[in-house]
Amino acid sequence: MFSFVCFLWFTVIIRQCFSVCLHDVVQRETQVVSPPDAFTQARRLVSRATTWSPHLPLRVTPWYLPGESALLTPPQMSQLQTAMKEVTKTIGSMLSVSRREGPLLLNRDMNRYCRSVWGDPSLLNYKRCGSPDNSYHGERCLDVLIPDSHLYGYEVWPMNGTEPIHRTLDGAGVPDTDFLLYVRVAQTKKCALQPIVIAYASYCQLDHAGRPIAGVIVFCPKRLREVVNQHPHIVQVSLHEILHALGFSSSLFEKWIDCSFSEYGDLCSSRSRVTNIDENGQRRIYTPTVMQKMGEHLGVGSTGAPLENQEKSASSHWESRIMQGSILTASINPPHLTFLDPITLAAFQDMGWYKVNSSISHQLLWGKGAGNSFGLPSTCHKASEFFCKNKSDIGCHHLHLDKANCSTDTFLDGCYIYKPLPQGGECWLENGSEGTEEIYHHQSRCFFSNLTRFPEAPKHEKVKGRCYLHRCLGPNTFHIKVQGSEWTDCPAGEWINVAGFDGVLLCPDGRLCLGLEKPLLPTSTSTSTPALNMHKPATRQDIRVQVTLMAGLSWTSEKKTLLMDEVLGVIAHHAGVRSLRVYRTVPCPKRKVSHT
Ligand X SMILES: *[C@@H]1O[C@H](CO)[C@@H](O)[C@H](O)[C@H]1NC(C)=O
- Specify the residue, 382 or 544, whose C-beta has the smaller distance to ligand X: 382
Query: C-beta of 425: minimal distance to ligand X in Å?
Result: 6
Query: C-beta of 312: minimal distance to ligand X in Å?
Result: 28
Between residue 516 and residue 555, which ones bind ligand X under the rule CB under 6 A?
Answer: none
- Specify the residue, 286 or 416, whose C-beta has the smaller distance to ligand X: 416
Between strands 2-10 and 541-549, the pairing is antiparallel
Report whether 481 contacts 467 (CB < 8 A): no
- Could you give the C-alpha distances from 51 to 47, 281, 351, in angstroms and in order? 9, 43, 20
* Positive or negative torsion for Cα 533, 536, 540, 543: negative
Other Cβ atoms within 10 Å of 325 Cβ, number: 20
The H or E element spanning position 467 is strand 464-474
Letters for 402-421 (x = contact with ligand X by CB under 6 A, - = none) are ---x-x-------------x
Site for ligand X (CB under 6 A): which residue of 280, 390, 524, 548?
390
The residue type at 560: K
- Specify the residue, 172 or 383, whose C-beta has the smaller distance to ligand X: 383
For residue 406, give the 3-state DSSP assignment: strand
Site for ligand X (CB under 6 A): which residue of 85, 89, 166, 389?
389
Give CA–CA dist 577/51, Å, rounded.
46
* Rg of the chain (C-alpha set): 28
Give CA–CA dist 374/309, Å, rounded.
16
Site for ligand X (CB under 6 A): which residue of 232, 503, 530, 537?
503
Report whether 222 contacts 187 (CB < 8 A): yes
Query: C-beta of 424: minimal distance to ligand X in Å?
Result: 4
- Specify the residue, 191 or 417, whose C-beta has the smaller distance to ligand X: 417
Partner residues linked to 420 by β-bridges: 404
Site for ligand X (CB under 6 A): which residue of 34, 452, 476, 485?
452
Give CA–CA dist 317/323, Å, rounded.
10
Residue 292 in the binding site for ligand X (CB under 6 A): no
- Specify the residue, 289 or 316, whose C-beta has the smaller distance to ligand X: 289
Query: C-beta of 460: minimal distance to ligand X in Å?
Result: 5
Site for ligand X (CB under 6 A): which residue of 93, 260, 276, 527?
93
Contact partners, residue 445, CB within 8 Å, separation at least 6: 396, 400, 401, 427, 428, 467, 468, 470, 508, 512
Residue 360 in the binding site for ligand X (CB under 6 A): yes
Letters for 57-76 (x = contact with ligand X by CB under 6 A, - = none) are x-------------------
Contact partners, residue 218, CB within 8 Å, separation at least 6: 142, 184, 185, 186, 188, 190, 191, 199, 200, 201
Using the rule CB under 6 A, give the single segment among 47-55, 357-365, 559-567, 588-596 that binds ligand X. 357-365
Residue 502 in the binding site for ligand X (CB under 6 A): yes
Size of the site for ligand X (CB under 6 A): 28
Site for ligand X (CB under 6 A): which residue of 53, 331, 379, 450?
450
Using the rule CB under 6 A, give the single segment among 268-276, 300-308, 460-468, 580-588 that binds ligand X. 460-468
Catalytic residue of the set 29, 68, 241, 437: 241
Query: C-beta of 382: minimal distance to ligand X in Å?
Result: 10
Residue 280 in the binding site for ligand X (CB under 6 A): no
Letters for 29-58 (x = contact with ligand X by CB under 6 A, - = none) are ----------------------------x-
Site for ligand X (CB under 6 A): which residue of 192, 383, 514, 547?
383
Site for ligand X (CB under 6 A): which residue of 160, 497, 526, 548?
160
SS (H, E, C) 341-365: CHHHHHHHHHHCCCEECHHHCCCCC
Residue 460 in the binding site for ligand X (CB under 6 A): yes
Asked about 241 being catalytic, the answer comes back as yes
Give CA–CA dist 4/395, Å, rounded.
48
Residues in the chain: 596
Taking each continuous run of H as one helix and of E as one strand, the counts in the chain are: 10, 33
Report whether 430 contacts 423 (CB < 8 A): no
Query: C-beta of 552: minimal distance to ligand X in Å?
Result: 44
Other Cβ atoms within 10 Å of 99 Cβ, number: 18
Query: C-beta of 395: minimal distance to ligand X in Å?
Result: 8
Q: Which long-range contacts (CB under 8 A, 24 or more apart) does 300-308 make?
A: 300/371, 300/372, 303/372, 304/275, 304/276, 304/278, 305/343, 305/346, 305/347, 306/282, 307/250, 307/275, 307/282, 307/283, 308/411
Give CA–CA dist 223/575, Å, rounded.
24
Query: C-beta of 107: minimal distance to ligand X in Å?
Result: 29
What DSSP line would sit under 60-91, residue for residue? EEEEEPTTGGGGS-HHHHHHHHHHHHHHHHHH
Query: C-beta of 173: minimal distance to ligand X in Å?
Result: 25
- Specify the residue, 253 or 339, whose C-beta has the smaller distance to ligand X: 339
Using the rule CB under 6 A, give the single segment among 60-68, 235-243, 270-278, 427-435 that binds ligand X. 427-435
Site for ligand X (CB under 6 A): which residue of 29, 461, 494, 542?
461
Using the rule CB under 6 A, give the single segment among 41-49, 206-214, 331-339, 455-463 that binds ligand X. 455-463
Cα 170 from chain centre: 35
Query: C-beta of 427: minimal distance to ligand X in Å?
Result: 9
Cα 106 from chain centre: 26
Residue 262 in the binding site for ligand X (CB under 6 A): no
Which spans of this chain sit near ligand X (rule: CB under 6 A)? 57, 93, 160, 357, 359-360, 383, 389-390, 392, 405, 407, 421, 424-425, 431-433, 440, 450, 452, 459-461, 463, 502-504
Residues forming the active site: 241
